[in-house]
Amino acid sequence: MKDVIRIAAVGDTHVPKAGNSALQPALAAAAANADVLVLCGDITDYGLPEEARLVASALQPAVKIPVVAVLGNHDMESGHTEEVKKILTDAGVLLLDGDAQEVAGIGFAGVKGFAGGFGPRALGPWGEEAIKIFVHEAVNEALKLEAALARLRTPHRIAVLHYAPVVDTVLGEPLEIYPFLGSSRLEDPLNRYPVSAVFHGHAHRGSLEGRTREGSPVYNVAMPLLARMFPGQPPIRIVELPATMAAVA
């Protein structure tokens, strides 16, 4: 068994029908330098089957390591979610939606997550029925994440999300859209079942890193953010998990 497992993560590839030129360098870097690839949602641009097929065709020859993923809001835009899921899973992608899986000795729990805001200013389930439905969606995603984390018995747990669970990694975005970038309800399961790392996307202009209240590292791996912060490098983040601690490569 390896002493170190390297996880490569990226989100928000937003692959359109015309393709995304940044995708291949990211996949090549993952294949060459990591043991697992994590895709943090918004894999496609409009959730179209043809976009998913482009992703699948790019993955199959280039990436021989396991691929773990969650979907994002863009992947659901066109109403072809089930077809997109099938195309990706047929290509070998392990899609998580409230699921827990062990890969390369690491436990992965994943959900899309949802919006609602952070801390004491998070939206509460009060008033109109539409507001209650909105808040219930965030609560449901948090419950799915908690159930998945609870099933893992591995020394390391990794949470894979699309929406942000902490405000730290959305800093830099316009303040007005903070409530739509994530929900602190997603953080509660991460504190009850401490994780070695959290990966998410969605906040293209946010910040690279934050921490949960219990100190677990949270990485925003939105491809536009990585491309801006690491110009000239493949837009992917690699994190090492040794036997006893997590360290960023």
pLDDT at 243: 52
In terms of DSSP bridges, do strands 106-110 and 197-200 run parallel, antiparallel, or are they unpaired?
Answer: unpaired
Query: Model confidence over 159-170: pLDDT tens digits?
Result: 999 999 999 999
pLDDT at 20: 82
Residue with the larger pLDDT of the pair 20 and 15: 15
How many whole angstroms separate alpha carbon 124 and alpha carbon 147? 22
Tokens found for residue 153: 């018995």
How many whole angstroms separate alpha carbon 118 and alpha carbon 123? 8
Query: Model confidence over 65-102: pLDDT tens digits?
Result: 999 999 999 999 999 999 999 999 999 999 999 999 99
What angle, 0 to 180 degrees and rounded to 10, lies between the N-to-C axes of helices 49-62 and 81-90?
10
To the question of pTM greater than 0.85 for the whole model, the response is: yes
Inform me whether the pLDDT recorded for 61 exceeds 90: no
How many whole angstroms separate alpha carbon 26 and alpha carbon 209? 19
Mean predicted lDDT score pLDDT of the chain: 94
Delineate the domains of the chain, giving CATH numbers in brackets. 4-248 (3.60.21.10)
CA torsion sign for 75, 106, 239, 193 is positive
Phi first, then psi, for residue 248 (nearest 5°) are -85, 130
Sequence-ordered list of residues with C-beta below 8 angstroms from that of 216, at least 6 positions apart, any chain = 190, 194, 195, 196, 197, 198
